[in-house]
Structure 1
């Protein structure tokens, strides 16, 4: 099924009431989704040399400190190692020894895949090739990229779709997906990003819906896109999901996102893969924030498994 067909199916289905749609069930006896850890949850710790934590330690900390066996890397924490087979081999060995799965690499700082300048857009596409290769070596299923562009709504869709399609064509023979996160600007407009993914017409090009990254613009009066609507629009193309968290109330609920409501949307689309914890708050430590997010996801899973 091409992305265009997926998008047309979603567009027609969106007219139906969400409350009438049944919740898809996982296999009997299984949790409705699995939990992974996004490396960005530990970005302050990783950037603090005094903590002594590096990207190579990330799988161990994930398993030993949080009891999680799947990881999502961020390329900036091993930016110069994408082509370093010795380094990647050590990282893979550590994961294998711990029984930790490498799921994806979040890629930033490699240029705008929707750049209006053809040469710059081509350079951005080619800059990502090494991360596709690294992800393949580590056993990941995807690289996460951004859909940055400029111009009108339609121009940005055309340009971003072109860059994403070309990168997806490189990744497809290796069995890798290219997935886009709502990450600011028009990419945080769920309808725009869904339309852009559909326009690539590549079945290995999809989305990574993030619960919290729906800032259309920032500043004194930030403009937000409705997060529940956005996730609903992105889920037909989702190949991963990011559970963004910032702050928690005394009952352990995330105060900005209703996780129960959000995960109902996720599961309604038949998604039962990994949901990645991405803690970005500052009121508690990164370690505590990760644990609070995991506990919340586990409560959600227990409740929705009975639905």
Structure 2
């Protein structure tokens, strides 16, 4: 079947197994290929956070990818500082903290990284600081062929209009978005599951898809027919296809009611089924 997108697998889908020590980052590529027949992977830096400069470790990881015919697509970078911090000094430190992961992405053969445009302040001020942080990081990344993507990842970044505005202000072809089809909670209490203000996900994706370099196909719950309960994938896929998007859609199961492996399988089946139903 010919599809307008390719399928990759996000490591976050197995965060419980990784946190419980039932799976290691080194084993992830083989699991993707051998258990799910997926040949492109997306890492999360926190699952190998002390290994950014460890060439022995990274070469082992790369070898396992080659042995299994797996392509490294991107690294999601968390907990390295706020790229939209209003404090110039803190923002610049955050930018420099990301450099090692840009280098790691290059070493592993990735094409891009995902970062967060977090900051505290007015929407306008955070947007301005974010554009500065992203452009500074891109200046480093572009020299070695790595693209920068920003995810809608809570707070201001989950406001599609704001994130699209950030892209316009950044005005850099090497910087784009990584739309997460489910991450549109602007305000929550306690945990993300207790969302108090949700942005319309279809409106949000339509606003940020023109800048997309990849997509996170987020799923939480499924009905008896294998459809995602919180997101209408047929409706969402039409928005994505109509935009001209032609890159990876990364399976990112984030639910708790299925095993992680089953959630990944159902998400892959959903993507294939939805694509097959499109004219």
C-alpha deviation, 1:42, in angstroms? 0.2
SS of 1:170's equivalent in the other structure is: helix
Rounded Cα–Cα distance in structure 2 between residues aligned with 1:239 and 1:140: 13
Rounded Cα–Cα distance in structure 2 between residues aligned with 1:46 and 1:182: 23
Q: 1:180 aligns with which of 146, 150, 163?
A: 150
C-alpha deviation, 1:86, in angstroms? 1.0
Rounded Cα–Cα distance in structure 1 between residues aligned with 2:195 and 2:110: 38
Q: 2:52 aligns with which of 79, 82, 95?
A: 82
Rounded Cα–Cα distance in structure 1 between residues aligned with 2:105 and 2:255: 28
SS of 2:277's equivalent in the other structure is: helix
Match of 1:15 in 2: none
C-alpha deviation, 1:30, in angstroms? 2.5
C-alpha deviation, 1:32, in angstroms? 2.0
1:269 aligns with 2:240: no
Q: 1:287 aligns with which of 237, 245, 261?
A: 261
Q: 2:72 aligns with which of 96, 99, 102?
A: 102
Q: Which has the higher contact order (CA 8 A, sep 6+)?
A: 1
Match of 1:243 in 2: 217
| Aligned residue runs from structure 1 range 101-120, under 5 A | 101-120=71-90
Match of 2:229 in 1: 255
| Aligned residue runs from structure 1 range 1-307, under 5 A | 30-49=2-21, 51=22, 53-219=23-189, 222-304=196-278, 307=279
Normalised by the length of structure 1, the TM-score is 0.88
Normalised by the length of structure 2, the TM-score is 0.97
Q: CA RMSD in A?
A: 1.0
User: Gapped runs of 5+ residues in structure 2?
Assistant: none
- Rg comparison, structure with higher value: 1
**Number of aligned positions between the proteins:** 275
Rounded Cα–Cα distance in structure 2 between residues aligned with 1:261 and 1:93: 39
SS of 2:143's equivalent in the other structure is: helix
C-alpha deviation, 1:198, in angstroms? 1.6
Deviation sequence 1:10-64 (CA, Å, 0-9, x none): xxxxxxxxxxxxxxxxxxx622211110000000001112x2x100000000011
Q: Contact 2:185/2:195 (CA < 8 Å) preserved in 1?
A: no
C-alpha deviation, 1:109, in angstroms? 0.3
